[in-house]
Amino acid sequence: NAGVMQNPRHLVRRRGQEARLRCSPMKGHSHVYWYRQLPEEGLKFMVYLQKENIIDESGMPKERFSAEFPKEGPSILRIQQVVRGDSAAYFCASSRDGNEQFFGPGTRLTVL
Amino acid sequence: GQQLNQSPQSMFIQEGEDVSMNCTSSSIFNTWLWYKQDPGEGPVLLIALYKAGELTSNGRLTAQFGITRKDSFLNISASIPSDVGIYFCAGRISGTYKYIFGTGTRLKVLA
């Protein structure tokens, strides 16, 4: 049973470009969470989605950031017009029922 | 907003010693999760707690859900070098599916 998959593992973008991060949850999991982590810090909640619905996006900036979890395919975290402050590790976690969360390996975004 | 205070921030211990770390908050949580994160990797789930007062073990790890539902602790017995890493607690806010993470405890084990 494959774990949570994220790609790419590393992403380099120039300021102003778009970053698209993908997350495939574990089989049978319909809850997806996105977190952001800066070096030497904890994980900060961004958004919680179930299939085709955003349940809680209280941790996600209102400008430039968006997330989706379509009926088919992976969940996508999209950052438009990236700035240097967006550089961080972005982690996705999935859950079967909203209780235990299992994390992917993360995408490390570097904005030049 | 809700905050989780995790302590200690970091600790150096000798191999074979026991370790204890805890998380406290002013908010009430209905689930506690404990994770370990190695450099460059995602957090790995160690223990999940669902009831106030619950005490759960996973090998050398033991965690408890505080009776007030505002705190939790994690103990590691007889530490070994591979216990090195960052340990995070996460509390699920009552009535939601949202988790708040602690700031982490950085553990270094001296052989």
- 3-class DSSP state for residue B1? coil
- 3-class DSSP state for residue B67? coil
Distance CA(B53)–CA(B65), nearest Å, equals 5
What percent of chain B clears pLDDT 70, i.e. is strictly above it?
98
pLDDT band at B20 (very low <50, low <70, confident <90, very high): very high
What is the tens place of the pLDDT at every residue in B53-99? Answer: 999 999 999 999 999 999 999 999 999 999 999 999 999 988 888 89
Q: How many CA atoms lie within 13 A of B8 on its CB side?
A: 9
Residues 6+ apart with CB under 8 A from B39: B85
> CB–CB of A31 and B97 under 8 A?
yes
Q: Per residue of chain A (112 residues), give pLDDT as tens.
A: 579 999 999 999 999 999 999 999 999 999 999 999 998 888 999 999 998 899 999 999 999 999 999 988 999 999 999 999 999 999 999 999 888 999 999 999 999 9
> CB–CB of B97 and A42 under 8 A?
no
Tell me the two tokens of residue B68: 């007030």
Distance CA(A27)–CA(A94), nearest Å, equals 9
Q: How many angstroms away from the CA of A93 is the closest CA of chain B?
A: 9
Interface probe for B, chosen from A47, A56, A101 (most Cβ of B below 10 Å), is A101
Residues 6+ apart with CB under 8 A from B81: B15, B109, B111
Among B31, B88, B97, the residue with its CB nearest the CB of A43 is B88
Residue-wise DSSP of B22-66: EEE-SS-EEEEEEEEE-TTS--EEEEEE-STT-EEEETTEEEEE-
Query: Is the confidence at residue B17, as pLDDT, over 90?
Result: yes
pLDDT for the residue numbered A111? 97
Chain B residues lying within 8 Å of A42, measured CB to CB: 6, 88, 101-104
